Structure 1
């Protein structure tokens, strides 16, 4: 009888422990996605009208324990124009509530948020610099980031990217530390990147860059201001870019200015943009966005007096499923 009692107690304790183990670990899997369809009119040297967009699928697996988690994400893209399939994020993430490691293809902290830039066509073929060459989402490059969250207000990120003898790069190496801090309605962000890149069959280039910015909530919306500066080595082009934008609910406006430091005249870019989103048939999962931008570039290519202007309008349909 005593043996049976001891066995029963042992079995009960084992069952209880197994039950606790099962309850402490939770697995979830979800799949969804969204569709974007763009209709764009562009008035530059020639007037053009074109369409674009994609269907993005989003598959997420999540394992959550008492004080740890493991997460896997895959986001394939099906284009609405052309036949080349792509992908947004594909990564594995694991860690605890105050730290984690992320490996794969993804984007790091945004040091240069531009707000509601549904359309922002830049004149003169000029681009902007947002301390984002090592932010992530590069084909043929592995990306690893370590995140540290000492408290709810602060977040540190250390990103490292690398590749060698791939289809896109003979060599690529980058490091990007960044941080954000939010206190009430106010937030700040700062980061730095160092990049060395040799495209397949090309020559090596390298640069360092930094970005700082701040945002604050006001009258039901959010204002963001950002500054990024790129210092290119050797004969590269140094670039300084500034972004200022305001977003409130379904609408937003923004301004981006950028300057390239070149031999001769320094090209300058000024772009204004805005967008407004309304639901389709009152649905929270379907919407249409009306957007426009205007841009002017001066001294394009370092040639004084060579200016360019571009105006653009876009209608974007979005459906989340």
Structure 2
């Protein structure tokens, strides 16, 4: 039996020789189940931010988290059982859980349950800091992607070929006392030579509840779609994104269209997002946001770096024109 302890810098494998020898003597029936691994890694991020804009007070802040990841897998023939947990110690003193899921299946199919994220239909690239001015909605087809504050998720995956994958994600959580959060999100991923395509649909419906007061707030009911085209251009990675939401409720916003493009080239990344609401007026509210980041090594250490990032956003919304600018310095170390 092999236990693997790893960090981003090294990977440590401990083989229990007496146990392995005993299983070998036990015969083939036991030997075929002897494929268990356990891995652990951790990292720390510390952010120093400045954020301000038109008619805004400039704010300075510090945040970050210490992340612990534990992953285990046991294989029997062509099938496996996997589990992953991610614990976060936050800079403000709170604790949180990022991933916490179990999975069972094979290389061609699997079922996943717990807390996790599904296929990314709107990848933003190197979005170290990204802020949107005003109150215009930005839709990324992630309402049912996962990691709900309360409730849970189920997802089924099917991989007919090495290049093609299907995902059917569902999510649920407590809304009011008679209705539950419901989300359904089918998606497909295809990887070709120098490109990949990810596309999906989602339906989300729930009654929002304030976590502190327990008061039922505004209902949410929409259909959405997302599409990502990723291209390898020379040594750069280019993402082209589009997402559309059709609001099923009778309110001021009929639908939202969000477009995005970003490029990652080595340690540098830059991106742009445009989102527009259709509110049946002559001038639909919209927001334009830019962001960029550049990463440099920290004292030539292999697993430590510093990222300098900036964001700038402009909007015309029902509340008037607005702008927002910000910067971030992020220290990162993996151990």
TM (norm. structure 2) is: 0.85
In 2, Cα distance between equivalents of 1:205 and 1:250: 39
Structure with the higher fraction of residues in helix conformation: 1
- In 1, are the aligned partners of 2:136 and 2:276 still within 8 Å (CA)? no
Find 2:60's aligned residue among 34, 38, 49. 49
Q: Which of the numbers 174, 179, 187 marks the counterpart of 2:183? A: 174
Which of 318, 321, 326 is equivalent to 1:312? 326
Aligned partner (choices 57, 69, 74) of residue 58 of structure 1:
69
Q: Does the alignment pair 1:259 with 2:276?
A: yes
Deviations along 1:18-55, one digit per CA (max 9) or x if unpaired, are 34632553111122211110001112211111111111
Q: Answer yes or no: is the 8 Å Cα contact 2:44–2:333 preserved in 1.
A: yes
Indicate if the aligned counterparts of 1:171 and 1:199 stay in contact, CA closer than 8 A.
no
Q: Structure 2 matches for 1:146-295, cutoff 5 A?
A: 146-164=156-174, 171-200=180-209, 201-236=216-251, 237=253, 238-264=255-281, 265-295=283-313
Spell out, residue by residue over 1:35-90, the C-alpha distance to the aligned partner (whole angstroms, 9 max, x if none). Answer: 11000111221111111111111111111232011111111111112x32111100
**Any gaps of 5 or more consecutive residues in structure 2?**
1-22, 210-215
CA distance in 2, matches of 1:247, 1:87: 28
Question: Is 1:85 the equivalent of 2:95?
Answer: yes
Q: Distance in 2 between matches of 1:69 and 1:17?
A: 22
1:277/1:20 Cα in 2 relative to 1: closer, same or farther (>3 Å)?
farther
Partners in 2 of 1:270 and 1:141 — Cα distance?
33
SS of residue paired to 1:131: coil
- 1:7 matched to which residue of 2? none
Secondary structure at the counterpart of residue 67 of structure 2: strand
The CA distance in 1 between the partners of 2:94 and 2:176, in whole Å, is 19
Structure 2 contact 312–326 (Cα < 8 Å) conserved:
yes
Moved over 3 A (4+): 14-17, 164-167
The equivalent residue for 2:119 is 109
Distance 1:15 1:134 in 2: 46
Q: Give the Cα–Cα distance (whole angstroms) in 1 for the partners of residues 176 and 300 of structure 2.
A: 48
Q: Report SS of the residue matched to 2:31.
A: helix
> Which residue does 1:68 correspond to in 2?
79
Q: What does the per-residue CA deviation read over 1:160-185, in whole Å, with 9 as the maximum and x for residues that have no partner?
A: 11234689x95201100001101110
Q: Give the distance between the partners of 1:154 and 1:214, measured in 2 at CA.
A: 14
| TM-score normalised per structure 1 | 0.89
1:126 Cα deviation from its structure 2 partner: 3.6
Q: Is 2:52 the partner of 1:39?
A: no
SS in 2 for 1:124: coil
Measure the CA separation in 2 of the matches of 1:15 and 1:58. 31
Number of residue pairs matched by the alignment: 302
Q: Do the aligned residues in 1 keep the contact of 2:241 with 2:259 (CA within 8 Å)?
A: yes
Please give the alpha-carbon distance, in whole angstroms, between the structure 1 residues aligned to 2:173 and 2:88: 23
1:94 to 77, 84, 104: 104
Q: Secondary structure at the match of 1:116?
A: coil
Measure, in 2, the Cα distance between the counterparts of 1:166 and 1:159.
22
